[in-house]
Amino acid sequence: MSSKAPLYQPQSGVLTVQYQPDETTQLIENPPRFTWIPAQLDHDRYVLQISSAENFTAADTQTIQPIPLNLYTPDAPLAAGTYYWRYALLTEDGQTEWSVVRRFEVKEGLPVTALPSRSDRYAGAQKAHPRLWLQAPELAAFRKKIKEDPSFCGWDVFFERSVKPWINKELIQEPLPYPENKRVAKLWRQMYMDCQETLYAIRHLSIAGVVLEDEELIAKAKAWLLHVCSWNDEGTTSRDYNDEAAFRIAGALAWGYDWLHDYLSAEEREEVGKHLLRRTEQVAFHVIERSKIHHVPFDSHAVRSLSSVLVPCCIAMLGEKTEAQAWLDYTLEYYAGLYSPWGGADGGWAEGPMYWTTGMAFVTEAMNLLKKYTGIDFYKRPFFSKTGDFPLYCFSPDTIRASFGDQSTLGDPVSLKTGFNIRQFAGVTGNGLYQWYFEKVKATDTDSELKFYNYGWWDFRFDEMVYRHDYPEVTAEEPTADSISSVKWFRDIDWVAFHANMHDPDRHVMLLTKSSKYGSISHSHGDQNGFLLHAYGEPLAIESGYYVAFGSTMHMQWRKQTRSTNNILIDGQGQYAGTNKVLNMAASGFVEEAEQRDGYGYSRCNATAAYKENVPYLERYVRELYFFDESYVVVVDHIDLAQPGSVDWLFQTLHGMNLNGQTFKLQGNKADLDGRFVYCSSGELELSQTEGFPGVDCSEIEGLPLHWHLKAATKPARSHRIATLLVPIKKNEPKYVSYFMDDQDHGVHIYFTENGVTRKVEVPKAY
């Protein structure tokens, strides 16, 4: 009998990390990432064994200890084959019993993405400053290039537009508290904008002063830096008061401390270092001790703060502040083991393209800093090699209101920063399609630089200079039928994109649907089985509403709710989209099938679980989409209930519609839409439309156009089958799709014909 203490092995949940890998895991990289639920809440350390023998014979087994977290990435790949692993908790008395043994397979040819061990990972790191972006040896070469050619890498534009404005600008004062310390969205945004400007001033003046060896610029940068040190670390720009402001001030201190390091007196260096350490500590404490993203990885801001705060701040302090290495180790191990919690091998991002933009903007900056300073290249991980596909297919450069999730740019063209991000991946992968995307967006989004979602987050001249210095020029490749998938299924997040003529905005048709395991958590909505349609330069079936601010009435009462989507309500109830994260994650869906067939694209999505909290008597809700001949769409809904109920079929658009019988028609600026309910098992639907956003505080959207909402209501029944025809029509190019029905047996056969080509959809009867 073993004398070792028992090991507590909690069951994993929907929000926690999982016990992986196991026999069901399809490994996508080598070595595997090992994760488990912590055996105790605090002060846990582990021993891990990996073996090619099920009985863990010594000659076939690696033993790694101590491991300070419940995750581990080996420092070398494994040979192809079958393996077993187990772990135990290390205690003062030795170790506990071993965990359950899990088996996994390593296949040949997987990308090698090992993480150097803690003892080796900083061996080649420079001790000299600067460390952020340009290392000391690179600095001399860059300085020489600038003297020879001031336009090198866009330096002249950076200096003119991103350095000069701060030379004579008055120092920004420390932001005041909210009235009665209650957050006000407008003041919250102004506060982080002020802090972003402070970051620009310190970073850009410091870099310019050091590169040009200009004493006046260096003095200006020091003045800004020391001024920020006079702000209260525990005040309005602390992590707990306004985390967005805190992230920016910590970053500003890191860049100033690093680039001005050799120009600060010992006393000044100590003063700046003290505040930098404290502000980094605030973020690290929240991430590691409160949010515990190594236990529960789905905290959007905490994950982003690894990139925006812990990477630059810890690099700046490494070897000088003891805590910096521990925080940086934690960050690297999260990146290696759990990143990204919002997607996987296909490169998807469950929070949607705008939060992909934000997340990638900071994580790519962090990846670049780490690669240059430590030599660790996270871009080799499968997620990073594929994630440029996500905006390409799900946020195409000519579309508006045609993607899911919270979007601060809602109603505007695709953000230029999204383009900058995807160009980064063009530089990493050499993918010309990504470069094409960047060039298209750059040509389209020409006037958004000063909008809050750009100016308050990044500086394009700085981004341009850094990219041109660090990455090669990639030739753009226009999408073709051979280079673009007509049906793209992001299996990691269960989004499906259908495309025709992506290269030509005037003829491009994009249909997007989702039914995701992420449900309505974080910046996702109650929109499983929803769809969006953008055709011929016009948003037709849209994401309705505006992203005023997270937590606003527009956000919580409209945007996150199913009633704002192209979806269904059951007895007036939608999917759960409240504030309980467990229920958010449980309100999920999944894609059963998605593929290109002969002449059409097809998807089948299941959102049954998404409604269970609000409609417990729902037994099944499946939606099929047929994208026929790259021209028109048929939507087939299957709803089965344990008791009679009515269904509201919803459609959102920018324009009022002409309703007539079982049809709805809208006229846009570049395209129209002909919608028809060709079959409903419970009889004809009752169509109505409304304008506006019920339940939303009107002051939040003052001056913004209202949107239109179609509701097609069924009669009560236990089962419903609804087939809907959607025909997008380019202006001045009239067309129609005819149809007829055959229901002689147990199914309803509906035939659709356009220009002599007939397609059939079979709808099982509801009994």
Q: Are 613 and 586 in contact (CB under 8 A)?
A: yes
pLDDT, block means (10 residues), the chain with 767 residues: 85 95 97 97 95 98 97 98 98 95 98 96 94 93 97 98 97 96 90 97 98 98 98 98 97 98 98 98 98 94 97 98 97 97 96 96 98 97 97 97 92 93 98 98 88 90 97 97 96 98 97 98 97 98 92 95 98 98 97 97 98 98 98 98 98 98 97 98 97 95 96 98 98 96 87 97 89
Which tokens in the block code for residue 236? 């309005």
Distance CA 510, CA 397 (A): 11
Distance CA 209, CA 221 (A): 8
β-bridge partners, 639: 621, 720
Which tokens in the block code for residue 36? 């488990």
Torsion of CA 178, 179, 184, 188, to 10 degrees: -20
**Phi, psi at residue 673, to the nearest 5°?**
-140, 130
Residue type for position 344: G
Residue type for position 681: S
Which tokens in the block code for residue 345? 């091998």
Map residue 429 onto helix, strand or coil: helix
Of 407, 600, 392, 591, give the one whose Cα is nearest residue 484: 392
Letter string b/e over residues 249-270, b meaning 16 or more CB atoms within 10 A of that residue's CB: bbbbbbbbbbbbbebbeeebbe
Of 277, 259, 273, give the one whose Cα is nearest residue 163: 259
Is 340-475's fold the same as 487-764's?
no
Residue keyed to tokens 């089965």: 640
Q: How far is CA 376 from the centre of its chain?
A: 23
β-bridge partners, 30: 112
Distance CA 365, CA 459 (A): 12
**Phi, psi at residue 256, to the nearest 5°?**
-65, -45
Q: Are 238 and 247 in contact (CB under 8 A)?
A: no
Of 13, 25, 37, give the one whose Cα is nearest residue 584: 13
Give pLDDT, residue 2.
57
Give whole-number Cα distances, 383 to 111, 360, 562, 563, in Å.
11, 11, 30, 33
Q: Are 618 and 573 in contact (CB under 8 A)?
A: no
| Domain parsing of the chain, residue ranges | 1-120, 130-295, 340-475, 487-764
Question: Where does 340-475 sit in CATH, by number?
Answer: 1.50.10.100
Q: What is the CA radius of gyration of the chain?
A: 28
Q: Are 5 and 97 in contact (CB under 8 A)?
A: yes
Q: Are 561 and 569 in contact (CB under 8 A)?
A: no
Q: How far is CA 73 from the centre of its chain?
A: 23
Map residue 612 onto helix, strand or coil: coil
Q: Are 717 and 638 in contact (CB under 8 A)?
A: no
Which tokens in the block code for residue 80? 């192809």
Give pLDDT, residue 329.
98
Residue keyed to tokens 């008395």: 93
The CATH number corresponding to 1-120 among 3.40.50.720, 1.10.3720.10, 3.30.429.10, 2.60.40.10 equals 2.60.40.10
Map residue 25 onto helix, strand or coil: coil
Distance CA 225, CA 500 (A): 52
Distance CA 213, CA 672 (A): 60
The CATH number corresponding to 487-764 among 2.70.98.70, 3.40.50.300, 3.90.180.10, 3.40.190.10 equals 2.70.98.70
Q: Are 451 and 417 in contact (CB under 8 A)?
A: no
Helices 136-148, 185-212: inter-axial angle, 10-degree rounding:
80
Give pLDDT, residue 747.
85
79 burial class (0-12, 13-18, 19+ CB within 10 angstroms)? exposed
Distance CA 741, CA 679 (A): 9
CATH architecture, range 130-295: Alpha/alpha barrel (1.50)
Map residue 529 onto helix, strand or coil: coil
**Cβ partners under 8 Å of residue 197, min gap 6:** 172
